[in-house]
Amino acid sequence: MPFVPFAGRRRLATLVLLLSGCVVALSLQVRRPGGQTVAEGWLLDVLGLGVRSVTGLREAVGALRERVSGRERLLARNDALESQVLQLERELSILRDAERERQRLLALYSAHPLAPPASRVARMVSLVTAGPFHSALLDRGRAEGLEVAGVVVGVHGLLGRVVGTGDQTARVQLLSDRLAAVGVLLPRSGRVAVARGSGTAGISVEYVPVVADVVAGDLVVTSGTDGIYPRDLPVGTIETVRKGGTSLFLELPVRLTAKPESETTVFVFPPLAPRESGSDPTSLLPAPRSSGRGSPARRAP
């Protein structure tokens, strides 16, 4: 008989295994004081576990389904609310713009209650102040009735005049432009003078004799004598009073009251009518329309 190592142990192990299986099987069938066997208890426990698992799974599936449907519902609602919010924000933006526009217009009309009926409201959409030539761009043009030589006025005062028009735009020469000039009046002393653009940030009043009664802070308004701008429009205040050596005239830099960078909504008054008998071309009241060609206003700087 061939020698097989550990054969006896293997047999014994098999025996122990089989006997242990029997013991386990028997122990599973033993009745407990409660009236059921261990195996029944285990079986019921396993079944209970299965039942609980199935119930839990069913509940989880239901909850998941409900959650998914709820999520879809919420997503749809969220989309609707988002679009509604966007719509409302758009409306709010429009309303805010309208309100802002209304406030500007109110400010404009309160600042210029006697604006001519043909005046137009425009927005200053672009400002070019680099270099000696200062200009701005309006979002209104010929289509809205703007004409060359129209007077551009902000809430705080005069800004310039229209020097070119397109269908939907108009170009404005600002007062600070080096080639701009405007007839002014110093109301406190009643002196009439001419103000020129400095090409930097303001204007200066010229041709005021050194003997004139001018002090810093004097108000400067349009005189209406240039035939371009109507009278009594605020221009600025005398910043300082300097005497230029042997010169017969004072150097009077003016701080403009209307800052182009802060004036977004402006009035564009129609060009002044040419001087006619019995009419005041510098009046803000409406005048009969006629061709302005050859008038002094056109020859103005």
- Residues in contact with other proteins by the rule CB under 8 A: 11, 14-15, 18-19, 21-23, 25-27, 29-31, 37
Tokens of 54: 């199935």
Least distance in angstroms from the C-beta of 7 to other proteins: 9
Least distance in angstroms from the C-beta of 12 to other proteins: 8
Closest CB to other proteins among residues 31, 73: 31
Least distance in angstroms from the C-beta of 6 to other proteins: 13
Closest CB to other proteins among residues 41, 56: 41
Closest CB to other proteins among residues 15, 74: 15
Closest CB to other proteins among residues 37, 283: 37
Least distance in angstroms from the C-beta of 11 to other proteins: 4
Least distance in angstroms from the C-beta of 48 to other proteins: 21
Least distance in angstroms from the C-beta of 51 to other proteins: 24
Q: Which residues contact 191 (CB under 8 A, 6 or more apart)?
A: 185, 208, 212, 213, 214
CA distances from 84 to 68, 72, 90, 117, 226 (A): 23, 18, 10, 41, 56
Closest CB to other proteins among residues 31, 52: 31
Closest CB to other proteins among residues 31, 65: 31
Least distance in angstroms from the C-beta of 28 to other proteins: 9
Closest CB to other proteins among residues 41, 187: 41
Closest CB to other proteins among residues 31, 90: 31
β-strand partners of 92: none
